[in-house]
């Protein structure tokens, strides 16, 4: 894939900019909890009956999406032990980070009916699909085609090179959110970034280029977000093809996808107070284990440079084991730091405990990026 230099003029002219989703009002009702079909087993499952979610299993519709979202789907692969405990969770499809969070929280607390073989419980791997629907109150607006903040143009522009044209656009399969830069969030700084990106023939983002950014960190955060996305690839004449787009991302308190939550804002405001001070690792009963983890991608801007680097990310772990406010502590190449922070924001841990009670904790974790196979490893807390 050639670089994006040859298309910058077209990009800046807005010829291939992503349009906003069309929206429409609708008479409303309360949110519909997702209907959960029976879990289905992966090919080759060695059992007579598959695992099943507990009767009455529900995932609440995320509060942050009620003002704009109406539909969304999550598909999770999980291993279910003979006792019904879930592990090795992997999200294969998610249309928004908020519904991914809601589903992961619910599944980590669930115990399934295990698979059986010859009448005995056995371990199995299953796919769990969950569909969300929501009709907002009358007079409010929603994204009629889903909860993504935008859709892709149905056809590519004639000004694009032939290898980037398509007649069927890519379809987002897994979408994440950008990490709000910690220092800028602390200072209340808002801004935006515009990033060009290429979706390759295999549905992964193969190249990004920051076109505009009110602060460098906003551009890096947006690029890292896009590189964590996956798509069904664009098609031309029935065959997979590459496609290029521009994403404009706003970082502000008014933006649904970057506005800090009340919890995050409280942590920024309260971490200096003694009675709400997060504990450090040495003050905890033990090291909190990761229950759900994401491997960050090797940054596309650094591909081919044979760089081997370990970055350190600091974050706050709340009493439920959720990650808040990831911050890059050490990164020679900031792209590595932003890739790691974007992935870490989706992790779940065991609750941090002090004298047996859940507490807030401020922790650090290293991520090692290797050049040969573009492998990334996260180690236990130092």
Q: DSSP states of 228-272 as a string?
A: T-EEEPEEETTEEE-EEEEEEEEESTT-TTTSPPHHHHHHHHHTT
pLDDT at residue 1 above 50?
no
| Residue 256 domain-assigned (yes or no) | no
Question: In 10 A of CB 231, how many CB atoms?
Answer: 20
Instruction: Answer with the residue of higher pLDDT: 83 or 138.
Output: 83
Among 139, 159, 178, identify where a domain stops.
Answer: 139
Angle, CA 193 vertex, CA 196 and CA 250 arms, to 5°: 120
Encoding tokens for residue 189?
Answer: 């700084």
How would you label 155-191 residue by residue, b for 16+ Cβ within 10 Å and e otherwise? ebeeebeeebbbebbbebbbbbbbbbbbebbeeebbb
Q: Are residues 271 and 366 in the same domain?
A: yes
Q: Are residues 158 and 227 in the same domain?
A: yes
> What is the tally of structural domains in the chain?
3
Instruction: Answer with the residue of higher pLDDT: 61 or 355.
Output: 355
Q: Are residues 68 and 38 in the same domain?
A: yes
Q: Are residues 160 and 236 in the same domain?
A: yes
Q: Are residues 268 and 366 in the same domain?
A: yes
| Residue 128 domain-assigned (yes or no) | yes
Query: What is the domain-level CATH number for residue 361?
Result: 3.30.2420.10
DSSP secondary structure, 58-89, as one string: --PPPGGGTTT--EEEEEEEEEE-TTSBEEEE
Q: Are residues 175 and 156 in the same domain?
A: yes
CB 174 within 8 A of CB 225: no
For the segment 54-69, the average pLDDT, to the nearest whole number, is 83
For the segment 260-286, the average pLDDT, to the nearest whole number, is 82
Indicate the Cα dihedral angle 269, 354, 112, 86, nearest 10°: 80
pLDDT band at 49 (very low <50, low <70, confident <90, very high): confident
Q: Are residues 17 and 161 in the same domain?
A: yes
Q: 73-112 pLDDT, tens per residue?
A: 899 999 999 999 999 999 999 988 999 999 999 999 999 9
Q: Are residues 17 and 29 in the same domain?
A: no
For the segment 191-198, the average pLDDT, to the nearest whole number, is 96
pLDDT at residue 199 above 50?
yes
Encoding tokens for residue 292?
Answer: 């759900």
Q: Are residues 124 and 30 in the same domain?
A: yes
The domain in which residue 28 lies consists of 24-139
pLDDT at residue 151 above 90?
no
Q: Are residues 270 and 360 in the same domain?
A: yes
Among 70, 104, 139, identify where a domain stops.
Answer: 139
Among 199, 222, 251, identify where a domain stops.
Answer: 251
CB 21 within 8 A of CB 144: yes
> Which of 19-33, 183-197, 321-335 bottoms out in mean pLDDT, i.e. has the lowest?
19-33
pLDDT at residue 48 above 50?
yes
| Residue 144 domain-assigned (yes or no) | no
For residue 14, give every residue at least 6 positions away whose Cβ sits within 8 Å of its Cβ, in sequence order, or none: 246
| Residue 207 domain-assigned (yes or no) | yes
Q: Are residues 286 and 355 in the same domain?
A: yes
Q: Are residues 281 and 365 in the same domain?
A: yes
| Residue 257 domain-assigned (yes or no) | no
């Amino acid at each position: 894939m050639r670089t994006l230099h040859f298309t910058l003029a077209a990009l800046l002219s807005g010829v291939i900019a992503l349009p906003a989703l069309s929206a429409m009002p609708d008479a409303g009702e309360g949110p519909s909890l997702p209907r959960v079909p029976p879990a289905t087993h992966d090919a080759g499952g060695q059992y007579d009956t598959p695992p099943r979610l507990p009767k009455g299993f529900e995932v609440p519709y995320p509060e942050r999406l009620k003002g704009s979202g109406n539909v969304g789907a999550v598909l999770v692969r999980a291993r279910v032990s003979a006792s019904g405990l879930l592990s090795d969770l992997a999200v294969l499809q998610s249309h928004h980070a908020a519904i991914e969070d809601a589903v992961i929280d619910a599944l980590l607390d669930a115990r399934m009916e295990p698979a059986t073989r010859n009448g005995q419980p056995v371990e199995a791997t299953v796919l769990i699909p969950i569909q969300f629907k929501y009709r907002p109150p009358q007079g409010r607006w929603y994204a009629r085609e889903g909860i993504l903040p935008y859709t892709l143009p149905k056809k590519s522009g004639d000004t694009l090179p032939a290898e980037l044209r398509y007649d069927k656009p890519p379809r987002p399969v897994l979408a994440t959110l950008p990490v709000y830069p910690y220092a800028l969030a602390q200072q209340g700084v808002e801004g935006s970034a515009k990033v060009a990106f290429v979706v390759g023939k295999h549905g992964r983002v193969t190249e990004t280029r920051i076109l505009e950014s009110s602060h460098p960190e906003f551009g890096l955060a947006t690029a890292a977000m896009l590189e964590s996305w996956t798509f069904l690839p664009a098609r031309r004449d029935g065959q997979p093809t590459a496609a290029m787009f521009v994403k404009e991302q706003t970082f502000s308190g008014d933006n649904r996808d970057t506005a800090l939550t009340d919890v995050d804002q409280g942590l920024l405001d309260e971490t200096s107070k003694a009675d709400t001070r997060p504990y450090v690792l040495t003050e905890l009963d033990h090291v909190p284990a990761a229950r759900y983890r994401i491997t960050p991608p090797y940054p596309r801007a650094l591909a081919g440079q044979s760089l081997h680097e370990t970055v350190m990310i600091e974050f706050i772990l709340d009493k439920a084991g959720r990650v808040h406010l990831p911050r890059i502590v050490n990164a020679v190449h900031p792209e590595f730091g932003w890739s790691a922070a974007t992935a870490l924001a989706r992790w779940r841990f065991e609750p941090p405990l002090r004298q047996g009670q859940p507490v807030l904790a401020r922790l650090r974790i290293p991520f090692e990026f290797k050049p040969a196979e573009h492998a990334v490893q996260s180690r236990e807390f130092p």
